[in-house]
Amino acid sequence: MKPETKLPKVGTTIFTVMSQLAAEHGAVNLGQGFPDFEVPGRLVDALDRAMRAGLNQYAPAHGLPALREAIAAKTERCYDHRPDADTEVTVTSGASEAIFDAIHAVVRPGDEVIVLDPCYDCYEPAIDLAGGVAVHVPLDPATFAPHWGVVSAAITPKTRMLMINTPHNPSGAMLGADDIAQLTALLRGTDIVLLSDEVYEHIVFDGARHESILRHAELRERAFVVSSFGKTYHCTGWKVGYCVAPPALTAEFRKVHQYNTFCTFTPAQAAFAEMIREEPAHYEQLGAFYEAKRDRFRAQLEGTRLKPLPVPGGYFQLVDYSAVSDLDDAAFCRWLTTEKGVAAIPLSPFYESPPAGQRLARLCFAKNEATLDEAIARLGAL
């Protein structure tokens, strides 16, 4: 018996496809967004101590109290707002779970959810599974900035949620103070819920300020704000994230969470609580750490036929490959991986309707210098 699929538009994610292809062909993997350098030593030591101390059974469903308190204190330190650790902070098994839970907490069959293209590939499947309808609004194809008038025109009486992502994956674009002002005015007087994906919150460059929704009282009162320890602490495989939301939204969020994963890896929660308390310099200096990597990688790319686009935040570099090839992005990235030994991610999977003629690929620079040097040596031969 072959069941009727609930996700007819979904196949294997492009990140899995390209990583498998990279492994098969011995390519340098700049596709999937994971670091290849070490996790902070304090974090590893804290995890080991937690496991040896017996913290190996179920955690409280909403997260260890120590971690939720640490998240609340860190939020206040960063954004001048302290959420209530008991009623507004929930620990999840990665940011993707938090996004899924938030959507399923409030989106009902027939509700519309506005997403800004290009957007991360887990958004629409979660909307589809909730019975909602994803309404794709394109960002500016050159700057990846939102046109708020176009977003406003997409709002209907069925609009239940608007999803934003800053710093943005795949482009690295960031929302600024003017964007926040326009977003606030746009949602004022509506019942639209905001879902703010802020997993790259600490990877911000050139002295810019991350405009977290948690900074802005009017917006945070209607928002789920999602973050990821994997991005901040170089441990994507640990799959621990969290969601901050006002009490009424958190109550609905937790109803979904308790039947999705129930709880998250206990010893890691204890380790993150210690890391946040004892070593705040890690997240405070993360932007400078990655800015140096960005600048070095961009300087190297200038010696290739690939044209690097601006990167205000995050750890991805978009490159225009039109001087190299007329292939569409999926075919180019496959060719680059199999024939030239560097894996990249095409942008088309991030869109409902990719811009005609767009020739962009995404490279990850969250890598050791030796990894990036080897990639550049191969890219320089294009």
Q: Name the one residue in this structure whose structure tokens are 């997409």.
A: 154
Domains of the chain in start order, with CATH, are: 14-39+284-379 (3.90.1150.10), 57-279 (3.40.640.10)
- Which residues are bridge partners to 243 per DSSP? 90, 226
Q: Are 15 and 345 in contact (CB under 8 A)?
A: yes
Q: Are 88 and 293 in contact (CB under 8 A)?
A: no
pLDDT 10s digits, 372-381: 999 999 999 9
pLDDT 10s digits, 233-257: 999 999 999 999 999 999 999 999 9
- State the Rg of the chain over Cα: 20
Per-residue pLDDT, averaged over 104-113, amounts to 98
pLDDT 10s digits, 51-80: 999 999 999 999 999 999 999 999 999 999
Q: Are 116 and 134 in contact (CB under 8 A)?
A: no
Q: State percent of the chain over pLDDT 70.
A: 100
Integer CA distances (angstroms), 32 to 234, 281, 315, 341, in order: 13, 27, 11, 15
* Higher per-residue confidence, 295 vs 9: 295
pLDDT 10s digits, 358-375: 999 999 999 999 999 999
SS3 of 134, please? strand
- Cα–Cα dist 65/15, whole Å: 34
Q: pTM (2 decimals)?
A: 0.97
pLDDT 10s digits, 256-285: 999 999 999 999 999 999 999 999 999 999
Could you tell me where the beta strands, DSSP code E, fall in 11-56?
Answer: 28-29
Residue 226's contacts (CB-CB under 8 Å, 6 or more residues apart) are 95, 98, 99, 102, 195, 196, 197, 198, 199, 241, 242, 243
Per-residue pLDDT, averaged over 290-299, amounts to 98
